[in-house]
Amino acid sequence: MLNMTDIMETITMIQDENLDIRTITMGISLLDCCDSDIDKSCEKVYEKIYRCAKDLVKTGCDIEQKYGIPIINKRIAVTPIAMLVGASGGDPVKYARTLEKVANDVGVNFIGGFSALVHKGFSPGDRELIEAIPRALACTEHVCASVNIGSTKSGINMDAVRTMGKVVKEAAELTAHEQCIGAAKLVVFCNAPEDNPFMAGAFHGPGEPDCVINVGVSGPGVVRAALAKAGDDCDLTQVADIIKRTAFKITRMGQLVGSEASKRLGVPFGIVDLSLAPTPAIGDSVAYILEEIGLESCGAHGTTAALALLNDAVKKGGVMASSNVGGLSGAFIPVTEDAGMINAARSGALSIEKLEAMTAVCSVGLDMIVIPGDTSADIISAIIADEAAIGMINSKTTAVRVIPAIGKGEGEELEFGGLLGNGPVMKVNRNSPAKLIRRGGRIPAPIQSLKN
């Protein structure tokens, strides 16, 4: 039987606490679109994506109306395009323009997969695609890019790390007139998951089905509200239990939406990614959850411990609610997208160094961090290397999405609007890592990679 209390609780979560389905993302394999002629390959890419995703947006809207659950984004993730470039040759930007056209024609918010997997080295097509990323992001609105440069099994490809520092800088420079948005659509990964529905890092892994529906749920406002209602007398064991119970309810909603979308579209249901992805809306903030747990400000000593508790409890609650939990699942800490993080960064309570420590226990990594526009490519590469090392050693996904604010310095701000929000230019350590970065080669896989 339906429980009226549960129904009213869910309505309150949606109306007052910013509970939503952040995205339904259709993953589409393009491996059968390979062709030695890049123009023919692009035609196949357009035809397949359109055929698979033409009803995606309508389906999402119909589910919203049926259940009253907001579905904020409808997205597509495709096979890493570097694989197609390896077969076709030619200018990879042609693929980016094709992805942009089909994204516009089917009406999705973003399309991810202008990507390369180079954690153990470069295969044909990888270098060409990576060098084309800044141009591709500058001439498209909906296309997102990602590059996986390391893994626990393979170590870190430092030649790729060096290249990506330059690519991030160039992506910002080519879109300086648009708040450097190119860099905000580019993620550099270690241990990238193949089923992540969240942009900008979504791509459809080679081991995935031909077509699949993945769902990303978000509810930091709901978790914060649940803790606030419980009061200050709860000990941390009780706090963890409250978060687990709340995550369970949120995940069940994602399971419902994913199953319904799968049935209506006639494609397999992949995973629910229970990630507490914040927005700039007041209250919809991971930082505010940490402060509700007991910190004066996010960034204070104790932040990493509170985030570890939160991330673990979210995963435990989600796993109990669905057998399909996957992707990243945990707590995101994107600075410009989180009202509490923005405030903490502006006040000086939150530094890049503290954020780096937090990434050892959060769901992803250094995300949506604005840095001075004159930051060197070597420093950006070193930031990527540090974050990849945390992911490699701890057998977890880590990522870097930093935005060099071209023409701006520490204390000034970039304004993206929408879900990407806004944020202050944060201070970076200016001591040069150039010698380290220019050595190149590969940081070997750690001993814990030998698990067979």
Residues 159, 228, single domain; the answer is: no
Q: Which pLDDT band holds residue 261 (cuts at 50, 70, 90)?
A: very high
Tell me whether residue 18 is in a domain.
Answer: no
In a domain, 452, yes or no: no
- Identity (one letter) of the amino acid at 206? P
Is 248 domain-assigned? Answer: yes
Q: Give the pLDDT band of residue 18 (cuts 50, 70, 90).
A: low
pLDDT of residue 149 exceeding 60: yes
CA distance 279 to 297: 18
CATH code of the domain in which 183 resides:
3.20.70.20
Integer angstrom CA distances of residue 230 from 75, 293, 310, 380? 36, 11, 16, 42
331 pLDDT above the threshold of 90: no
Residues 441 and 160: their CA atoms lie apart, in Å, by 9
**Quick check: 273 pLDDT over 80?**
yes
On the question of pLDDT at 161 being above 80, the answer is: yes
- Domain's final residue, options 190, 207, 233: 190
In this prediction, residue 11 carries a pLDDT of 52
| Percent of residues, the chain, with pLDDT higher than 70 | 96
106 and 226 inside one domain: no
CA dihedral 133, 139, 140, 144 (to 10 degrees): 10
Task: Report the C-alpha gap between 8 and 11 in whole angstroms.
Answer: 5
Tell me the average pLDDT across 16-43. Answer: 88
What angle, rounded to 10 degrees, do the helices at 220-230 and 286-293 form?
Answer: 20
Q: What percent of the chain has pLDDT over 90?
A: 70
- Give the tokens for residue 336: 């410009």
CA distance 334 to 180: 16
Statement to judge: residues 402 and 335 lie in one domain: yes
Residue 154 lies in a domain: yes
What pLDDT score does 13 carry?
Answer: 56
Q: Which of 190, 206, 232 is the last residue of a domain?
A: 190
Taking the C-alpha atoms of residue 151 and residue 142, their distance in angstroms, rounded to an integer, is 28
Query: Taking 50 as the threshold, does the pLDDT of residue 156 lie above it?
Result: yes
296 lies in the same domain as 182: no
| 355 has pLDDT over 60 | yes
Number of structural domains the chain divides into: 2
What's the confidence (pLDDT) of residue 9? Answer: 55
Among 129-138, 156-165, 253-262, whose mean pLDDT is lowest?
Answer: 253-262
Quote the pLDDT of residue 256.
85
Domain identity same for 272 and 412: yes
Residues 163 and 223 in one domain: no
pLDDT, tens only, 429-445: 999 999 999 999 999 99
CA atoms of 209 and 63, how far apart (whole Å) = 23
- Give yes or no for residue 372 having a pLDDT over 70: yes
Query: Does residue 22 lie within any of the structural domains?
Result: no
Q: 336 lies in which domain range? A: 215-445
Residues 141 and 223 in one domain: no
The number of C-alpha atoms within 13 Å of 271 and in the hemisphere containing its C-beta is 20
Q: What is the pLDDT of residues 404-429, one digit of tens each?
A: 999 999 989 888 877 788 889 999 99
Range of weakest confidence among 61-70, 212-221, 317-326, 376-385: 317-326
Q: Indicate whether 237 and 384 sit together in one domain.
A: yes
Q: Which of 370, 377, 368 is nearest to 169 (CA)?
A: 377
Judgement on whether residues 304 and 441 belong to the same structural domain of the protein: yes
H or E, element range at 211: strand 211-218
Instruction: Identify whether the C-beta of residue 375 lies closer than 8 Å to the C-beta of residue 428.
Output: yes
Pair of tokens at residue 36: 């030695």
- 283 pLDDT above the threshold of 80: no
Residue range 290-302: average pLDDT?
94
Confidence tier at 8 by pLDDT (50, 70, 90): very low
Average pLDDT, the chain: 91
Contacts of 4 (CB under 8 A, 6+ apart): none
**336: closest CA among 265, 375, 279?**
279
| Residue 224 shares a structural domain with residue 160 | no
175 lies in the same domain as 220: no
**So what's the pLDDT on residue 115?**
97
Residues 56 and 168 in one domain: yes
Quick check: 2 pLDDT over 80? Answer: no
Q: Is residue 146 part of a domain?
A: yes
The yes-or-no verdict on residue 184 having pLDDT over 60 is: yes
Which pLDDT does position 14 carry in this prediction?
A: 54
State mean pLDDT over 317-344: 86
Torsions phi, psi for 112 (to 5 deg): -110, 155
Residue 430: both structure tokens together: 């200016």
- Model pLDDT for residues 195-233, shown as the tens digit of each residue: 999 989 999 999 899 999 999 888 788 898 889 988 889
In angstroms, rounded to a whole number, what is the distance separating the alpha carbons of residues 328 and 315?
Answer: 10
